[in-house]
Amino acid sequence: MTRLFLLIVLAIVSAQARAEDYAQRADVQAFVEHMQRQHDFDAESLNELFRRTQPIAAVIKAILPPKDPGVRSWRAYRGRFVEPKRIAAGRRFMQLHGAELAAAESRFGVPAEIIAAIIGIETFYGKHPGRFEAFAALTTLAFDYPPRAELFRRELEELLLLAREENRSPLSYIGSYAGALGLPQFLPSSRRRFAIDFDDDGRIDLDASPADAIGSVANFLAGHGWERDAPIAVSVGITGDGVQALIDEGIAPQRAPRQLAAANVRLTRVGADDTAPDEAGEAFPDRPAALIDLITPNAATEYRLGFRNFYVITRYNRSSFYAAAVMDLATELQASK
């Protein structure tokens, strides 16, 4: 779907949303009926929520794809997150919450610096948790953003279930334009599944309890298969005519480095004491990996071998840039441990 076509579609649906409140729309009523049938919600109470909700133009603007989706820059992306102010804030965070981070690392096997790096990238350690009413943001995306409507209707459903479980108004949750909540920016589905009361005060509070955020991030990664004491990724140099084929296999680890090196490529471990090409892959951990390309226009592409834990980080945000930035910020934060 081209950006121009998407803008035209969004203009049409936005005009529809302005012409009638959400509670009058057939698609919203179908959702209300689903919530009533599947989860025993009161239809009139839901309709009242939708009558009080207006579409948020800024949410649609924020989620639109870039004007030129072909331009991706790893160096620019990395520079947004691995920079002096965020590093300094991360080191302070690790000093203040060292006990909680150590407890989470012990319990879940996720390194403290990885947990801290994710919270730093998501909200700058709580400085930028979002400013949108989550119910309105998710309603806007669920009914006025066709490309991802199904996903956001599921998250709207999860938000309503979460509010009922916590005995809160669905209108009381504040988060990102996509409905992500708290210091770790959990979508409602992740909040319900992975958020934990890590400070043992009898409630889960991802907005004001760094301990709950720390434990919940670690629980999320462990729940997606984090491997204790296992590598995340290693930087490599690579040449040969099989490079693109390996990249096209995706970011899920499938081949041991020995197999990667045998696929018409030569691997060099960057940053190791021995950087000579290792055609047998013996310089690398003997476990499945994927070849990750970190592209910067008009600059040399950086490559990493991503192991299982790299892939697990991409379950938090499905981007190899994101996982690589988490790694690099975590490396900077290790000095505070």
What is 140-194 written as a DSSP string?
A: HHHHH-GGGHHHHHHHHHHHHHHHHHHT--GGG-EE-TT--BTTTTB-HHHHHHH
Does the annotation mark 166 as catalytic? no
Nearest in space to 141 (alpha carbons), one of 121, 157, 130, 125? 157
User: Rounded CA gap, 23 and 29, in Å?
Assistant: 7
Spot the catalytic one: 100, 105, 113, 122: 122
What three-state secondary structure class fits 268? Answer: strand
**Tokens (6 digits) for 111:** 């390194």
Q: Are 9 and 146 in contact (CB under 8 A)?
A: yes
In order of 125, 133, 208, 309, 329, the CA distances from 320 in angstroms are 22, 29, 29, 12, 14
b/e string for 214-230 if b means 16 or more Cβ within 10 A?
A: bbbbbbbbbebebeeee
**Tokens (6 digits) for 155:** 């998250």
Active site residues: 122
